Structure 1
């Protein structure tokens, strides 16, 4: 059975980058993985000051709105590095919070799909044929956590 997620309040909502699970990366605490991801667009750009503003945004929705503002120019190689940025955020999130780590592991070997009708890159898109890159990262992190548990590097 495929695991679909999208909204935070729905089943598997903790898989969303908007879930209220903080992460510590780059020497700072980010309220959500969405805050971290959106801010990284502007590292090393003339708009770098926006990074801290995004980190301090009151909600993940506000962070996303700031990060998606077309008035600001993101890193030139953003499309190349964004999967690495998302992977770091998602991996950190699920290694940091045991409750959601257990929920991720509870999905077994099922396919995980971000059921976003708006995003054919991170999700499945309106037609269900999107790339589902976020789902793929979640499945990769799930497998890595299993390996860490098997080797005793982390415990459950």
Structure 2
């Protein structure tokens, strides 16, 4: 998960996307809504570079964005560190978990995550989404500027337009005509949906 992109897409003027589109948590659910005539507004992102003005922009949605946070007294340098440490913890690999926490970059953390002992793909597929949701609730919840940005995306469908990632992204770049059509995505967009769930939980705290 790792060029920032501006919001894309529009509504049809008849059925506002805020009716249900912001509540979807899978590509299949989103495709079903689009088939019913909804025209969601998408926010495409990829990469973790800051905005040109130095402010918070779409890049903060990346797992690699440098935004340290703590959970149960443990510090995580990025959401990628959280994810990979959680992966190691899930499979009882304490040695790798400690190495992930000590890693200096998200790239290093990701590499270590691929070395987790006793890894089980089926179990990981069941647990990975909630793990990333929890990490992003902590990441955005503990930083006022990041929290404001995420909540400010309101009802937009968040899309990691990574042409390289078919699990956490859509397997397509933002300028690909297929990016605005979930039926034509080449990936699952799990990061986008995890961020939308984190947004919902944080918004609930303020209700």
Contact 2:91–2:117 (8 Å) recurs in 1: no
- Mean alpha-carbon deviation: is it higher for 41-50 or for 12-21? 41-50
DSSP 3-state at the match of 2:89: coil
Tell me the residue number matched to 1:153: none
Cα separation, partners in 2 of 1:68 and 1:109, compared to 1, 3 Å: same
Tell me the residue number matched to 1:74: 119
| Displacement of 1:28 | 0.7
Match of 1:108 among 146, 150, 154: 154
| Displacement of 1:74 | 2.2
Is 1:9 matched with 2:49? Answer: yes
Tell me the residue number matched to 1:92: 138
C-alpha separation in 2, matches of 1:54 and 1:79: 20
C-alpha separation in 1, matches of 2:83 and 2:120: 12
The number of equivalent residue pairs is 149
Tell me the residue number matched to 1:145: 202
Output the TM-score relative to the length of structure 1. 0.85
Tell me the residue number matched to 2:17: none
Output the TM-score relative to the length of structure 2. 0.65
- Mean alpha-carbon deviation: is it higher for 73-82 or for 83-92? 73-82
Cα offsets for 1:89-109 (capped at 9, x unmatched): 011111111101111122121
C-alpha separation in 2, matches of 1:26 and 1:143: 22
DSSP 3-state at the match of 1:121: coil
Cα separation, partners in 2 of 1:73 and 1:12, compared to 1, 3 Å: same
Contact 1:41–1:67 (8 Å) recurs in 2: yes
User: Alignment RMSD, CA only?
Assistant: 2.0
C-alpha separation in 2, matches of 1:25 and 1:4: 28
Q: For structure 1, list consecutive stretches of 5 or more residues without a partner in the other structure.
A: 151-156
Tell me the residue number matched to 1:24: 70
Cα separation, partners in 2 of 1:94 and 1:59, compared to 1, 3 Å: same
Tell me the residue number matched to 2:15: none
Is 1:122 matched with 2:168? Answer: yes
Structure number with higher relative contact order (C-alpha < 8 Å, ≥ 6 residues apart):
2
